[in-house]
Structure 1
């Protein structure tokens, strides 16, 4: 009895287990079998009854001739076209319950026609999608596939072959348009290649072509499930045979198994942008999946619709655009009229004077007609001095008390042009109480003019020599000593206190102007050189005036602050003695004063016209400083800072050694070396000393009358 009961119980339990195990399995098989295990279709054009199997949205449409157009060339549009039946791409391994992606293959022929030869975009994709459309997708670089919010999300379950015709979205700077990319849940391509195909003449011979050529192009995608190998090939449809090597070949492609779901839809997405747009067409399409070796059907060009005509897009204008064009045209017309009036006004104001590039940096420019009026037409009775390269006129500008000195450069003088520019670039920016103030300049046709403040007492040269001869009035010792210290202060500013080092290179009495209170102003910077602190002067041509030139200039032509100190020393001895520094014979003022020093008769060097009207200590001090500045060796000369301290009696003047002076042979040697380089008035280089300035002036601007 008991045994019978146990047998019955076992039978009931076995029946229950059988029902639990078999019913769900059967239900599951029924669900799976609702989707075919294999899919094969071929569209040789999309007309007839086949369009019912294509689900299109957005700008996509099927043309009467059978072409599937994804987008036209309108801006910011999206078009999608999917096979309307799901495709089973997952396969379960019975032994391990793991799922793998089945093998599949697709082939299609497409055409991309840009709006113009230089303005097309953005491209299209072949897509595996969990839905037969792409809701929420955006235009431009998102290609109608994703949007900025879901780009890169693992929940997208989207695989796409990207046919990009503009700069790749999220790709590096190396990327360019006209490329193919494999995208997994993102618009950033995991694999990307420029569009080329491998010619059958050799496995490594590549030929490139343009996706936006307007010609039919073939695309072939083959995925082998067991090996997870993906091969993609693209080439012009007019080629006679398929390339022997794919453009992209990847083994394995593990990401694909993470993306593919139980059922997927296959199709295309495309988009245009705001400024870039193309028409995207699919001429034919075949697909195969499942089975041992699925292979999409070959598409013969003769069996599919002809490609669309490749014509430039006809652009029309709506009312708003026309109104904008009219408004802009009106504004531009008004601006042109105002510009014309301004040009006429400026032409009248400047009397056809043209500013060049080098003048823009120096804004103190006078009008020629104002200077012409100020000097009464540059009359002779207005001349106050004449130099080697120009004539100086006195002028009255604005009011009779507001006087200027106008230096008119000799026409067609290249040396004068160089001095003109050198003065503007050096003296034009210098400001010191002992330097002449350059107020501006003017360029009118062939006339070059420099404008200074007018200094009524004239030059130190005239006060030392010309005025005493005319009126008998002699410059006092107090005024002479004040002038000497003022010149030293100006040179100290040039050598050490301005932003650059300035070497004057022509310190002499005729270049020193004296104000009414006997304050000296050093001027005439036509030979001056500027260079940065810490650098060395590289001038190798002798410039200056004989008698004031340091001996080293005769040897190497290399001017420096020490050569300016030498010239100042000669000038200082000249101020004390009232004698020119040299004559036509062998006389040299520094030798003469040194001989008097050695014989104990140093006070004999003072200008006899002063009589007893001088302070002996100051005279001895000035002569000692002058001799020290005229030392034969540049390194033994003091700086201008020390010179000023000596003259102010802040420092004692060092003793002058016996080897200071020049032998007769050295003076003869100096004179012989100067032959051919200097004149009795001023020596100057033909081009070197202002080469830095001349590079900023056109070579024809003065000879052509500009």
Structure 2
């Protein structure tokens, strides 16, 4: 008998638990319902996943924004129930990714160990069907995944659009590498995940050494050196019993994700799969000699038929979607005109949800996926020509942030230019903040909802200004361009006025476009749009959200005509609580309201150098403590001018923007001069100002 029977029994229990935990299964193809050899069980599918007649498991098809999953039907014992230590495990599988368009994959697949098979609330696109924006990074996810990603998502810090990453409770990988393998003495060899060729992957976790290794190769034998290896203890990540399987998704661009075989073993090494014994994708038949002969023999007949049907073909060509070479290089998804016409029921007026200087916006339902979208149809007389349209597609199509309205795709048919966006069921923020009696009253937004919207818009602007690969200046931040999704989360929209600049460039423009009350004073003087101009507009938006009033309110008493003037006076007098929207009925967090007011006034400072950056704004909104926000600098100097780089800014420099409190109040309500077009947005809640290259100003009534 051992000297320490308690220690011996504990060791014996651990040993017996490990020995008894020997789950193993192998799928060599998924025919007959996906029977696994040696187990007699079926595989569990959800989403669009399906097993084809040749035994291949297809997780997704070439349809946008879909999820497909496949799980082993029973939960496996991943941890020692006594000690909580994670067992070693090994997985082997063969997959292929076939993109809808060559070299443009979307979005990828992941091997996943999860507490459930449903993963409720998970989203497609960059989330790979694993989680959503609200639970990214939560330790409570208890989720482990190895992603094979074919899209570079800057939001999650992806290294490229062809990488392998290890994800723990997050879509931002703990470690990632470009897809490759080590082939003997040949060194590192790159491999293209979306090549359409079969690739075998090995995922091995050593529960003793606490190391995860990932290996890939386009052949049956396993390379000796893994392509990705990191030390990690999965014991606190995994539950005692977990489900193991795969998840794949598509986004604006789509790929078909296939599985050909899968093996898994607990406390052991899963055997490699023989590619020759697995099903393979059907290859297109090559044109043989007989086929060429038949084609040659019928050439004359085809020619005669073509001549006879010339009139019909001319009609079809005239009405078809013309695709020019440059359009093949522009993403994201290109819709057909017929598809969008059907979705919007012929662009009928009943589907119209907005309009502005660039045309009309219709609600639509895409055939097939039945997804609701907003279709922006650029008018024939719009100044936004094909060059601007191309730039908008190229830049916006690659922007990805949870607080930006996502561009799903586009279409061009002769003079008709169309953009397809996510549909926001709750419309624009201004419809909730202001009600002039001409529309059905919206529910009153709570303070928590308002503060969340401000934080979301600030995060989106920070992403545009600093966190994307280029600097994007929105140039028309206002309440009507903040749309609300089904959960009343704010999303910044309408990039029709956005200008794209390289980091470090000197942005300039020959035409100032925007909305009165949101225009930074320096814009009308210099004509240069900068990120500070967006900050100024955000300041006006913040005060609108707090007060429930427009930046310029013609019907207000003279002392309250300019919202920023009035709020500044009340703040300076310690009466800031009097400016809070009375519809809140006093139900709000005082510290958060004070932060919003201070940030709004700070952003609204007439001197650009005195305004904060969006990174500072986000930090103070995150803190929610007014004491942390620096004191707002006074907007006016003793001489009545406004301090700015290069000397004081005179009164005339921004007569059409911030300091209209100095004007005769009546003049703000009258038309000074009519410009050539209304500037940006789907609708204008206040007067708009336009400055062309000659310096002529125009004030447009709403």
Compute the TM-score of the two structures, normalised by the length of structure 1.
0.46
Structure with the greater alpha carbon radius of gyration: 1
Compute the TM-score of the two structures, normalised by the length of structure 2.
0.47
| Higher relative helix content | 1
